[in-house]
Amino acid sequence: MTDITAQTAPRARWLTRERIIKWAPLLVLIVLVLLFPFFEWLEDFRESKEHLYLADSRFFSIRNAARIAIASTPALMVAIGVTFIIIMGSIDLSMEGTVSVCAVIFAFAFIGWGGTLTSWAWLAIPLALLVGAVLGFINGLVHVRLKIPSFMASLAMGFVGTGFALLLTGGDRIRVEDDLFRSLLTVRWFNFPIMCYVALAMLLIAWFIQSRTTLGRNFYAVGGGEELAHASGLNVSRVRIMGFTLAGIFFAMGALLAVGRIGIAETATGNNFMFISITAVVVGGTALWGGIGGVWNTLVGVLIVNVINNGMVVIGLPSYVQDGVLGLLVIAAVVLSTDRKTVSFVK
Amino acid sequence: MSFIKKFIQQETVSRRNFLLASAYGVSGAAAMRMFGPSPVQAATYADPTVAWSYRNRTNPYWNEIVSGGEAFVESLGKSKDFLTHLINEGSSEKSLADVKALLAKTNGELALAIDTNDAPNARPVVEACAAAGAYVSTLWNKTDDLHPWDFGDNYVSHMSWSDEKPAEQTARILLEAMGGKGGVVHLGGIASNNPAIERLQGLKNALADYPDVELLDAQPADWDTQKANQIMSSFITRYGDEITGVHCANDTIGYGVLEALRAEGMDIPIVTYDGNPQAVELVAEGKILATVFTNPHWGGGITASLAYHAATGAFKPSEEPNEHREFYGPTIMVTPEDALEFRANYLDNVPTYDWKDFWGPSNGPIMYK
């Protein structure tokens, strides 16, 4: 009898609590992707139409996958940026301002230097990334040197950014009409526009930084226990400032893709990024108290939020319940995807 | 440092005067109300402060409104900076608090143009101005029971737009272009905003005459380009080729819709609203079938002008008929045929308006349902 229990034990151990929690965000995503076609099937079933569950689904199609991917790319860049900060146990709320400033400066430089990628205007891209880095650097300096909590420092910097973007544009919007630049959206490889591949490349770079560089490991060290990291001789202030700088670069990348998607740069380009990026990071399983999670979690989180947004319209949910449903689903996803047993209290 | 001391003294005195004046004003107004419409002889001022209170300049529409206000103060031979900006950022509380602060600072010598952010906030703003002896003109928001003629001269005028008819006209242009059949989707503004409600109603009115066109879906896109872009993509997933026309509540929504269609390689007719310069450009290129221009530049300038000229005593509001105190703003339909001409007349050179022609371009008295 003891033999039998000994045999089943490894199977039981394979499905450990930690492992379930680690993969929960992906499970949530898969459930959602199967749930929305079910509602479509239900709708056709009521009208007694022919409908093969996944095969006839409009939601579960490659065209719609591309639409969700397009909607996700700018948000993914911003969310990756803030992931690094959240891993450190801080928060960065400056994304709306930073995205607006980068988008506007990029558009002005791009138009001013020729207006097409084949001219010197391509320099506008590194310029935008540089601006993002500088804004992030200032953000980090304000947080670390002036000893202002990252929440307040970054929120304030975000407002400064929005104000600055407004000052630059005077409330106008700038159209970026270069066909080569807009091919980010209009040219497709294997059904997905180029901007999706750009985002994928940035995701891989972020993953490299997170797992293969000292800086990436230091983020986890600071988030896991700042005192311990400090006592071990880590220059925590420097890691923090570099983290905010890195986040700024990813915010700038988000701005470039946002302009690529709409073809317009304006003060409102940054709108709504705060909600979607923070939500996506948390839903993806990165803990707000730091030390846990990573960029793959963020990818899953961004996809969860965008799948919900897209799916609700596709199944014809009335607009007035959509916000409520989104809120409930976010709570459900966070409950399922974060390990709260090890946390004694939540601030 | 003496100038600081002097400034503080002045402020203290003017605040005291303001408190006294408002205490008198409130009780006085209450007493006067009992004996019929305000027989108070309102004081006029030689050089009142001119202020515009609005949401913010990020939105191109409000940017146009305020540029009109600036053009008006420049027509007085003053610099742009003479116009005081009160920015409420979408908060009615801040709107009222800012007005009260400015009334205290100017001792009531104020000509105020304002959108009070929401309708209920109009009454406290108007009452505060009337009590302090300032002159106020409102735009867009006020409740139906609040009327300028109940406040003597101090509540100068109210201007608004009824969007139902023009939105119905654009819808008819769209439905004709669709050949009177197929499916149409509507992307609206913030669901609770009055213009958003009226513009959707306009589409519904037009659809009554086109039984073969189905309204597939209507969702709020919150006046936001990116949100409109995502909702349109989702619509394409849900309805695909059933969509043969798009009715947008404003231009900013239209830009997002056009890009969503472009990503899919779709080319179907769309109509928008507001007549922003870029939308007019797109109308000229034939990418948008029609938009409606409400001339926010004129609206912003004339609202400030009415308050200013009433404050200086150039005209006496209480002697004007009711349709000069509550009226609709102008609307101009822009279609591909006249887009270039329209651009030349209104956008390339902003016309120099006669800011004393208060009611020329307006559109008749406001009707209550």
Cα dihedral across residues B190, B196, B197, B201: positive or negative: negative
Biggest CA pair distance of chain A:
81
What does the pLDDT look like over B263-285, one tens digit per residue? Answer: 998 999 999 999 888 899 999 99
**Which residue of chain A has the CA closest to B189?**
A319
What does the pLDDT look like over B86-95, one tens digit per residue? Answer: 999 888 999 9
In the numeric block, which tokens belong to residue B115?
A: 């959108």
- Using the Cβ of B9 and the Cβ atoms of chain A, whether some distance falls under 8 Å is answered with no
Confidence (pLDDT) at A22: 82
| Cβ within 8 Å of B, A 20-79 | 58-59, 61, 63-64, 67, 70-71
Nearest CA to B109 out of B159, B22, B184, B46 is that of B46
Q: What was the ipTM of the complex prediction?
A: 0.83
Q: Rounded mean pLDDT of chain A?
A: 89
Confidence (pLDDT) at B19: 61
Query: Which residues in chain B show pLDDT less than 70?
Result: 1-41
Look at the domain B164-293 and name its fold.
Rossmann fold (3.40.50)
The answer to whether the Cβ–Cβ distance between B237 and A61 falls below 8 Å is yes
What does the pLDDT look like over A49-83, one tens digit per residue? Answer: 888 888 888 899 999 999 999 999 999 999 999 99
Q: Quote the strand ranges of chain A, DSSP E.
A: 174-175, 188-189, 192-193, 264-265
Cα separation, B224 vs B255, in Å, equals: 9
Q: How many residue contacts between A and B have a Cβ separation below 8 Å? A: 91
What does the pLDDT look like over A20-42, one tens digit per residue? Answer: 878 888 988 999 999 999 998 88
What does the pLDDT look like over A282-308, one tens digit per residue? Answer: 889 888 888 889 999 999 999 999 999
Cα separation, B190 vs B199, in Å, equals: 12
Which of B57, B191, B234 lies at the smallest CB-CB distance from A313?
A: B234
Can you tell me which residue has the tokens 């993002």? A132
Confidence (pLDDT) at A331: 84
The answer to whether the Cβ–Cβ distance between A173 and B226 falls below 8 Å is no
Which of B60, B231, B234 lies at the smallest CB-CB distance from A171?
A: B60
**Could you tell me whether strands B135-139 and B155-160 are parallel, antiparallel, or unpaired per DSSP bridges?**
parallel
**Could you tell me whether strands A174-175 and A264-265 are parallel, antiparallel, or unpaired per DSSP bridges?**
antiparallel
What does the pLDDT look like over A115-130, one tens digit per residue? Answer: 899 999 999 999 999 9
% of chain B beyond a pLDDT of 70? 89
Q: Determine which of A177-191, A236-250, A275-289, B38-52 has the lowest per-residue pLDDT on average.
A: B38-52
Instruction: Name chain B contacts of A255, Cβ cutoff 8 Å.
Output: none
Confidence (pLDDT) at A1: 46
Nearest CA to B272 out of B255, B294, B254, B284 is that of B254
Residue-range domain boundaries for chain B = 2-161+296-329, 164-293
- Using the Cβ of A343 and the Cβ atoms of chain B, whether some distance falls under 8 Å is answered with no
Look at the domain B2-161+296-329 and name its fold.
Rossmann fold (3.40.50)
Contact B160, B321 (CB under 8 A): no
Confidence (pLDDT) at B36: 43
Residue A239 pLDDT > 70, yes or no?
Answer: yes
**Could you tell me whether strands B291-293 and B332-334 are parallel, antiparallel, or unpaired per DSSP bridges?**
antiparallel
B2-161+296-329 and B164-293 agree in CATH topology: yes
Confidence (pLDDT) at B23: 61
**Which residue of chain B has the CA closest to A75?**
B226
Confidence (pLDDT) at B28: 52
Confidence (pLDDT) at B270: 96
Contact A132, A98 (CB under 8 A): yes
